[in-house]
Structure 1
């Protein structure tokens, strides 16, 4: 009998935003019976050989419910404990404490006062997806009301100095499948972009990229550090996307590590990437 794989989305995007379209035939070619379903639908996730988190982009407003669902799925990728850790961006502080070069990040928990950098800065919710709730402020601005609004939603707030390299170079996203580098793409600055018609994420301008050696080296260090914190092997991560920017000194810094439901840029890379993804799914089952 063919192994079954369900690609989990959400009610607004049950089969994703189109980026994963090549994944379905690739999985089918490797013997899988493939379907898509919103994570909160009545689909029989418990009997699937693999449930792969893809466009579950409504989780931020329902994180407790989403995590409970994740823990109820026997064969979830990435695993529920990875999702719990990664869906709260306070993991950036843990990686910073572990010695990883991260964009300077301070976490302001609900009820705590906030202080703001003397340069331009960004405030974002500790739990969020698709750049929703992220705002940029000018040097000297008082962003207390935005922080309070995030706190009112039950989330902490992350404060980071704005990295001006994003305006000229954007972000560099490096994709790993089964712990092994697959491909990379760039993302233009998004804070001024419009929301997609689904209302779940800001529209992105993406382009294929060949990552420089120092970026690959940092991405490798990020995955090693995250795996150590999680107590797993890198190979246990079906997918990972490491988002980097350049600091004022020109060196790469970690902006985010996406282990839950990232777009993986299949439309921005070689056609074989979808087959590498399908092969990585088989690896997880083995």
Structure 2
């Protein structure tokens, strides 16, 4: 018997060996909750382009860093945008979805981010540090990250890397949003244990900081995670804006918080599926990797 429930293609790679995270567990639990409202099919990111036309909406979740299948992701993105496929998140995001070049853009514009240089002539504007992080524009999960002393910065080949001073911070904190509405925050109180997260009570200043980046990003629906670090002097600085497939750590929040998040995501997906096909576009850019 035909169903009037919206058909949802849930893109995931539960076999990806994520360090400190269990992609498969989270996606099995979340997709089971979404199945209460949708007809759900799970697929690997390499199969999404061929399958997406048969669904009312596509949800990209824990699909692994795009850097491992960049050409396939670019092909998926091109076809989805050209065909008006309804995808969450929207494939026009300016955060990690498009690579990490936005960090240099935001740094130059005076946003509270870790100071970032994408060109050799910008190195002089960086604060002095004992070490500098050199990271690929299309990096993820610390792949390709190296640390150099100041005397070795001349070795850096700009064009596909960024340079940042190595920040000594008190802790890292992440803020999670659905459709630009704050849901919860988690933090790693011990910098040496990045993935041992605990609930974080976000104050008004914290939320103002995080919302500034969510509002900057044109991705007006879907999940975004704002990752920041708290410096020794108490300032929050952006580490990354994850707007493609952020891991949610839903197993670490209380039941009420988890229920609110699931309800918000269901509402967002219902709204997306009911909008009709997205407006096709012939001008398609290239996406970047996500963590």
Report the TM-score, using the length of structure 1 for normalisation: 0.77
**Greater RCO, CA 8 A, separation 6+:** 2
Which residue does 1:239 correspond to in 2? 223
Counterpart residue number, 1:39: 45
1:179 partnered with 2:189: no
CA distance in 2, matches of 1:177, 1:186: 18
Q: Which residue of 1 aligns with 2:271?
A: 283
Q: Distance in 2 between matches of 1:265 and 1:11?
A: 14
**In structure 1, C-alpha distance between the alignment counterparts of 2:273 and 2:94, rounded to whole Å:** 18
Q: Count how many residue pairs are aligned between Structure 1 and Structure 2.
A: 256
Distance in 2 (alpha carbons) for counterparts of 1:207 and 1:52: 26
Please report how far the alpha carbon of residue 63 of structure 1 lies from its aligned counterpart in structure 2 after TM superposition: 2.2
CA RMSD of aligned residues (A): 3.0
Tell me, yes or no, if the aligned pair for 2:132 and 2:150 is still in contact at 8 Å: no
Residues 13, 38 of structure 1: 8 Å contact kept = no
Change (3 A) 1:11 1:206: closer
Q: 2:8 aligns with which of 5, 9, 13?
A: 5
| 2:70 counterpart (63, 71, 77) | 63
Pick aligned residue for 1:225 from 216, 221, 224: 216
C-alpha contact (below 8 Å) 2:14/2:24 kept by paired residues: no
Q: Quick check: 3-12 or 78-87, which moved more? A: 78-87
- Residue 13 of structure 1 and its aligned partner are, at CA, apart by 3.5
Structure 2: distance between partners of 1:56 and 1:24: 13
Q: Deviations over 1:10-55 (max 9, x none)?
A: 48439934223332132122x2011211111275112211211112
Find the counterpart in structure 2 of residue 123 from structure 1.
Answer: 134
Equivalent residues in 2 for 1:247-266, closer than 5 Å? 247-266=231-250
Contact 1:16 1:54 in 2 (8 A): no
Cα distance per residue 1:139-182 (max 9 Å; x no partner): 5462666x45xx7xxx71111112211xx42x110000011001
Q: What per-residue deviation string (whole Å, max 9, x for no partner) do you get for residues 251-276 of structure 1?
A: 11111100011102211223312332
User: What CA distance in whole angstroms lies between the structure 2 residues aligned with 1:113 and 1:181?
Assistant: 34
Residues 80 and 163 of structure 1, relative CA distance in 2, 3 Å threshold: same
How many angstroms apart in 2 are the aligned matches of 1:90 and 1:269? Answer: 32
Q: Unaligned 5+ residue runs, structure 1?
A: 194-202
Which runs of structure 1 show a deviation greater than 6 angstroms over 4 or more consecutive aligned residues? 112-116
Residue in structure 2 matched with residue 132 of structure 1 by the alignment: 143
1:198 is aligned to none
Using the alignment, how far apart are the partners of 2:14 and 2:177 within structure 1? Answer: 27
